[in-house]
Amino acid sequence: MFLPARTEDGVVVREVVARLQRARAVLVLTGSGVSAESGLPTFRGAGGLWRHHRVEELASPEGFERDPRLVWTWYNQRIAAHAKALPNAAHSALARLEERISDFTLATQNVDSLHLRAGSADPVELHGNLRHARCSGCGVRRELDAFGLPLDEIEHHCGGRMRPGVVWFGEPLPQEAWERARRAAQRAEVILVVGTSAVVYPAAALATQYARSAYVVEINPEATPISERVDSRLRGAASQELDAIARAVA
């Protein structure tokens, strides 16, 4: 079995691997920490600020109402950064793990499409994605390329506005995505919570409130509000820990 260098983590990895090998149903919940090693800043890592604006203000219906061009300028920069970024070893380890487990659900809070690009078949995108925009008036969808949405095309001819296809702070999650993730949490024998500060609800509740009998593992270099409630913790980077796990499970 491939073992990471650090002994303490090695013991936990052995336990996690053994559980994954036995498990029929697994849920993985990922957050922006999974994409940090692809060069995409986490909200916390970026200090929660962009050009002196708080990200919670930009990523909100109120922020968009106040200044849609500012909000699209920010999203267009993120879209360009996503297009340049490459999936890292954490994304590809999860795509490999998926092939070994019959009932495997990957639910992500990320909007960067890196799980799809790494080969994950059907990730549940809890917070939507930046591959498309949609009209807040008539609901029409528009696919976006690496340039995002031209600022002079924000106003839609129906009278509404084109907005990013993501879930903003204060908005409900897409019903179908949430149901898939919630049911997967209930079925899961193992849940991996990777690279999320576990403060954005209801996504964070999947591993705590909705899980029935799952063995829950947190993979994050830092402690989070759920750290004390999980069964084990791996404190390395997502790429290192997941690569070790996927190699050993294979």
Residues 124-153 that bind ligand NAD (CB under 6 A): 127
Q: Is 156 a catalytic residue?
A: no
Residue showing the smallest CB distance to ligand NAD in the complex: 33
Out of 82, 127, 132, 156, the active site residue is: 127
| Residue 37 binding ligand NAD, by CB under 6 A | yes
The full length of the chain comes to 250
Residues 41-60 that bind ligand NAD (CB under 6 A): 42-44
| Residue closer to ligand NAD (CB basis): 123 or 211 | 123
Amino acid at 113: S
Q: Count CB atoms within 10 A of the CB of residue 246.
A: 23
Shortest separation between residue 53's beta carbon and ligand NAD, angstroms: 14
Q: Count CB atoms within 10 A of the CB of residue 116.
A: 19
Choosing from 124, 184, 238, 245, the residue that interacts with ligand NAD (CB under 6 A) is: 238
| Residue 31 binding ligand NAD, by CB under 6 A | yes
**Alpha-carbon dihedral of residues 235, 238, 241, 245, nearest 10 degrees?**
140
Shortest separation between residue 147's beta carbon and ligand NAD, angstroms: 18
| Residue 32 binding ligand NAD, by CB under 6 A | yes
Q: Strands (DSSP E) along the chain, which ranges?
A: 25-30, 49-50, 53-54, 103-108, 124-125, 128-135, 141-143, 162-166, 190-194, 215-219, 232-234
Tokens found for residue 22: 């036995």
Tokens found for residue 206: 């999947």
Choosing from 148, 220, 230, 245, the residue that interacts with ligand NAD (CB under 6 A) is: 220
Tokens found for residue 218: 């947190």
| Residue 224 binding ligand NAD, by CB under 6 A | yes
- Strand, helix or coil at 93? helix
Shortest separation between residue 78's beta carbon and ligand NAD, angstroms: 8
| Residue 35 binding ligand NAD, by CB under 6 A | yes
How far is the C-alpha of 21 from the C-alpha of 15, rounded, in Å?
10
Tokens found for residue 109: 């809070």
In sequence order, what are the beta bridge partners of 161? Answer: 155
Kindly determine how many residues on this chain lie close enough to bind ligand NAD according to the rule CB under 6 A: 26
Choosing from 13, 17, 27, 40, the residue that interacts with ligand NAD (CB under 6 A) is: 40
| Residue closer to ligand NAD (CB basis): 25 or 72 | 72
Residues 94-123 that bind ligand NAD (CB under 6 A): 109-112
Q: Count CB atoms within 10 A of the CB of residue 156.
A: 18
How far is the C-alpha of 202 from the C-alpha of 224, rounded, in Å?
15
Shortest separation between residue 48's beta carbon and ligand NAD, angstroms: 8
Q: Show which residues are catalytic.
A: 127
Residues contributing to the site for ligand NAD (CB under 6 A): 31-33, 35-37, 40, 42-44, 109-112, 127, 195-197, 200, 219-222, 224, 237-238
